Homo-oligomer: A and B are copies of this chain.
């Protein structure tokens, strides 16, 4: 079983994921493509291997059989489990807690060779709607304080399986990066009475230089203090703190904007590996006026160095204005 552990100096929590035997050959994954000779557990026809479906998009086909567009299943090697109850325990300077949480896999297509870069916008919409439904459902477990939906595309982004999939994790604590955003949004709201993301979208649309794309429902920005080259935030124009409460039209609008930005990344950068991370208000937080859900796309074209690791400060060689210019297809 995994456990949560608090750093004895900073108090920051880490997930120690289980105690399976250490096999050194499991590491350095990034040297190898994620593809293997083993049958893909996520392909159509392997539903029994992938696991019993929690949610599926299928038309009159039997549950847990073939004939589906999307399935959500429990992660076979979960980093957190809903069964892992128990309080946190102290031992001198150390504090730990059983690895409570939920960890699900969204199998995004029956096709092994599908990809966010090639899926039509409605299929991306199906994925995002499944995220919404699962995040809404996991909220019913009162022990969970936050959920995160994310995708690793490509080995360089940490993907271990080539078959298109994303992941949903629900957690009994608010993660530090979401907490930082939340506090910043609350500071801004207290000072101005406005949502910082709404103000940001307005300022960026007026300036124009960091706008990657703008659709009727969504604005894609190269964030001013981007941590990674060509990072893009997709921010819905309609203010809402919680993705799971967003109307379907906003989510379908996000999918259309995402499809467009991925086409820009494809055309200008050649399908880089990326992480996509959904930031939505933590379940219990009373931040409906201050927070604003959004999707962060982080291309993985540079390695973190000792500077990043030692300081927690990113060094980004591509200013956001240049990233936006490149992605819009203008001269770099």
Contacts and interface: CB of A to CB of B under 8 A. Distances in A.
A322 B167 CA distance: 27
Number of copies: 2
Contacts of A296: 309-310
A317 B11 contact: no
Nearest to A311: B175
A109 interface: no
B93 A196 contact: yes
A28 interface: yes
A236 to B, nearest CB: 16
Given A5-B224, A22-B322, A313 B14 contact: yes
Contacts of A26: 317
A57 B170 CA distance: 54
Given A30-B30, A181-B9, A314 B15 contact: yes
Given A14-B227, A30-B30, A302-B29, A322 B19 contact: yes
Contact of A301 (B18, B28, B152, B157): B28
Contacts of A15: 313-316
B223 A7 contact: yes
A200 interface: yes
A5 B225 contact: yes
A26 B150 CA distance: 27
Interface in A286-326: 296, 298, 300-320, 322, 326
A201 B93 CA distance: 11
Interface of A: 5-22, 24, 26-30, 79, 92-94, 148, 150-152, 155-159, 167, 169, 171, 175-178, 180-181, 183-185, 187-188, 196-197, 199-200, 203, 223-227, 229, 269-270, 272, 275-279, 296, 298, 300-320, 322, 326, 332
20 contacts: A7-B184, A7-B223, A9-B180, A9-B196, A10-B180, A13-B225, A16-B225, A27-B302, A30-B156, A94-B203, A148-B307, A150-B309, A158-B304, A158-B308, A176-B311, A176-B312, A177-B311, A180-B312, A296-B310, A298-B306
